[in-house]
Amino acid sequence: MVEVDIEEGEEITVCGDTHGQFFDLMEIFRLAGKPSEKHFFLFNGDFVDRGSWSTEIALLLYAYKMLYPNKFFLNRGNHETDDMNRMYGFEGECRAKYTERVFKLFSESFSALPLATLIGKKYFVLHGGLFSDDKITLDDVRKLDRFKQRQPGQAGLMMEMLWTDPQTAPGRGPSKRGVGLQFGPDVTKRFCENNGLEAIIRSHEVRMEGYEVEHDGRCITVFSAPHYCDSTGNKGAFIKIGPEYKLNFTKFDAVFGNLMNKYLFGSNGVVGGRSGPSEPPRRGYVALR
């Protein structure tokens, strides 16, 4: 787990899923300001898959990580994994734009990404959500050796951190995804109280306004891929946090509408996801290649 404090004159912008929507990422930097020594960023997973510009996003985020290694942060999402990348386009995109080897290198780098970031000891930021067991604490997360396990698998701490979702009913329930579980407001309350937290900040689910505050203010979802999958009509959002550790939300609309974020890459790496030449490349991809 990465731990970061915000000093006087500094701020951090926390973003949720971007899912290959590179032009919307540019809009985030236009609205929020670019990363700098004083302006930290945390991208909370799911940079890749679905949208067609996942390699561009991943490479830009890695470049910023190299430029500001201690001021720019990336959490792993459930899409920074081999199974998802095979199904939802990233592996195909790597093959179409680069080579199989490039995908392998991304896969290796994804398996080294942190699973959570703690901001000011107040906000626990992770992609999915909380755990199947109330006894899990921040110290258990600190002790988790993420390098020991390359893929999250079907059970365990890593899987739960990447996959779980909140629910309105108390207690825990089965996941609508078939992976992970759902946790209620009482689970969130206990986790925050036991660990001295104000709230958890997670992503992983689209929200029509780009973000949503649930569980009596202690579970915040932030999602930064507006007009998700070219069909959802949702806004994107990001959260700014300064030295007072108050949350400031900004909502934004998609740029370029439908054209840019089509699912261009299927599992076989061919534009449109088809194997034959019958499917012509779509305009958005050709125009900007």
Q: Which residues are catalytic?
A: 79
Span of 38-46, 80-88, 173-181, 190-198 interacting with Mn ion by CB under 5 A: 38-46
Phi-psi region of 128 (alpha: psi -120 to 50; beta: other; left: phi over 0): alpha
Q: How is residue 3 written in tokens?
A: 């731990």
Beta strand 211-214 with 219-222: parallel, antiparallel or unpaired?
Answer: antiparallel
Smallest gap from residue 235 Cβ to Mn ion (A):
18
In the complex with Mn ion, which residue's Cβ is closer, 204 or 218? 204
In the complex with Mn ion, which residue's Cβ is closer, 50 or 71? 50
In the complex with Mn ion, which residue's Cβ is closer, 158 or 270? 158
Does 235 engage in binding with Mn ion (CB under 5 A)?
no
Smallest gap from residue 78 Cβ to Mn ion (A):
4
Long-range contacts of 265-269 (CB under 8 A, 24+ apart): 265/52, 265/89, 265/90, 265/92, 265/93, 265/96, 266/89, 266/92, 267/86, 267/87, 267/89, 267/91, 267/92, 268/92, 268/95, 269/91, 269/92, 269/93, 269/94, 269/95, 269/96
Q: Which 200-219 residues touch Mn ion, going by CB under 5 A?
A: 204
Residue nearest to Mn ion (CB): 204
In the complex with Mn ion, which residue's Cβ is closer, 95 or 204? 204
CA 141 to chain centre: 18
Applying CB under 5 A, among 54, 75, 78, 234 the residue interacting with Mn ion is 78
Applying CB under 5 A, among 27, 46, 49, 165 the residue interacting with Mn ion is 46
Q: How far apart are the first and last CA of the chain?
A: 37
Smallest gap from residue 279 Cβ to Mn ion (A):
28
Residue 82's alpha-carbon distances to 104, 140, 168, in angstroms, are: 9, 25, 31
Span of 70-78, 81-89, 108-116, 267-275 interacting with Mn ion by CB under 5 A: 70-78
Span of 31-39, 54-62, 71-79, 88-96 interacting with Mn ion by CB under 5 A: 71-79
Footprint of Mn ion on this chain (CB under 5 A)?
46, 77-78, 204
